[in-house]
């Protein structure tokens, strides 16, 4: 059986184990309205890393998005503009809030939401926009910010894949009202599960901790609608250790991505990922497009790579607007997203991949594509 180079791999060591053991020995396993000591330390450290005033840890990236919508007052009857080419959580949380996701198309080169399509999708019911930093490349937030300011809309940035990314000289999330992060096991840093909301808004910061804990401003007395979205102390401890390792993780991802991109330039059928001027990619995923390919041809290449031990994976195979549940929100034809979903696949560049393995991956792709 061929050993597989996985597309992503959580890298945890003795430091994380030690931190978890300290939590268990302390018997302080979670907070209530206020975060426990490890989670509080993690919140402060991550907020500093992304240059935000406030950070609020939660139990998942999906929880962060849903909580952000609740803090922004999104409710039944509202509309939220989202890209269809994303992980399901981007639209799922809108439906959970009782609102209607309005799907828009993407840019064919960055795979991020096309700002021009956003403005055309707005109605009097639009309350918010959720741009996604897909694969670790920030969305084009400057024109999106202008659209939001012009129409009085809230920007909730789905930065789940963008730890360490930057846009126009500022960390990802800086142009949004609320930015939402994921620490799922595959991400650039992990807490196992877990998420974070960062913001510079005092108004949102005054709501989020209480919505996160059943709407309780005092014990057993709920003053607003909330949920149990707290992060436990074990995850906060892992997060503190992983945050210290994140700069090194990012440096290795960048090294691997640049090497792989350089090697794959000879493969003329591939559209390679890149960093537009003013952007810094986090290289969560190294995603290529097999130009002019059918879905069967793309899937055939992915399967042959996997047979060779390269964990090539498709993100995302079906745009959200074509999934059964989401068809109730309208009929959409989003040609760029639909074509991309049939042609993209991602290759491993995570910090567990050596330069020798990068070259092995490149050789395998080049051999298959002639």
Query: Which residues have a catalytic role annotated?
Result: 187
β-pairing, 286-290 vs 195-199, is unpaired
Report how far residue 335's alpha carbon sits from residue 312's, in angstroms, rounded to the nearest whole number. 24
Is 10 in contact with 312 (CB distance < 8 Å)?
Answer: no
User: Which SS3 state, helix, strand or coil, does residue 261 take?
Assistant: helix
Report residue 58: phi and psi, to 5°: -135, 180
Structure tokens at 262: 């350089």
Q: Collect all residues with Cβ–Cβ distance below 8 Å to 239 and sequence separation of at least 6.
A: 38, 39, 42, 46, 57, 183, 189, 191, 194, 231
Is 283 in contact with 275 (CB distance < 8 Å)?
Answer: no
Report CA Rg, the chain: 20
């Amino acid at each position: 059986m061929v050993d597989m180079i996985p597309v992503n791999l959580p890298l945890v060591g003795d430091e994380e184990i030690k931190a978890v053991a300290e939590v268990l020995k302390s018997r302080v396993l979670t907070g209530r309205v206020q975060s426990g000591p490890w989670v509080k330390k993690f919140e402060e450290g991550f907020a500093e890393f992304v240059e935000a005033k406030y950070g609020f840890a939660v139990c998942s990236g999906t929880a962060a998005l849903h909580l952000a919508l609740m803090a922004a007052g999104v409710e039944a009857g509202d509309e939220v503009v989202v890209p269809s080419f994303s992980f399901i959580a981007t639209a799922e949380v809108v439906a959970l809030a009782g609102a209607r996701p309005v799907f828009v198309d993407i840019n064919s080169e960055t795979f991020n939401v096309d700002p021009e399509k956003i403005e055309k999708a707005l109605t009097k019911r639009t309350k918010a926009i959720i741009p996604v930093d897909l694969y670790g490349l920030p969305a084009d937030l400057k024109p999106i910010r202008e659209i939001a300011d012009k129409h009085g809309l809230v920007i909730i940035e789905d930065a789940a894949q963008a730890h360490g990314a930057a846009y126009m000289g500022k960390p990802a999330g800086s142009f949004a009202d609320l930015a939402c992060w994921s620490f799922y096991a595959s991400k650039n840093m992990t807490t196992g599960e877990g998420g974070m909301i960062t913001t510079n808004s005092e108004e949102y910061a005054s709501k989020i901790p209480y919505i996160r804990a059943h709407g309780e401003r005092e014990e057993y007395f709920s003053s607003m609608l909330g949920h149990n979205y707290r992060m436990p102390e074990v995850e906060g401890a892992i997060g503190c250790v992983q945050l210290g390792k994140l700069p090194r993780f990012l440096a290795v991802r960048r090294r691997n991505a640049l090497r792989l991109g350089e090697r794959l330039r000879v493969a003329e059928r591939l559209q390679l990922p890149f960093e537009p001027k003013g952007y810094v990619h986090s290289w969560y995923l190294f995603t290529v497009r097999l130009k002019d390919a059918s879905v069967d041809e793309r899937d055939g290449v992915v399967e042959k790579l996997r047979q060779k031990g390269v964990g090539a994976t498709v993100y995302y195979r079906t745009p959200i607007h074509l999934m059964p549940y989401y068809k109730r929100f309208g009929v959409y034809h989003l040609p760029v997203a639909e074509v991309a979903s049939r042609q993209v696949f991602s290759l491993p560049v995570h910090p567990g991949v050596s330069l020798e393995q990068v070259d092995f991956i490149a050789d395998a792709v080049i051999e298959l594509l002639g």
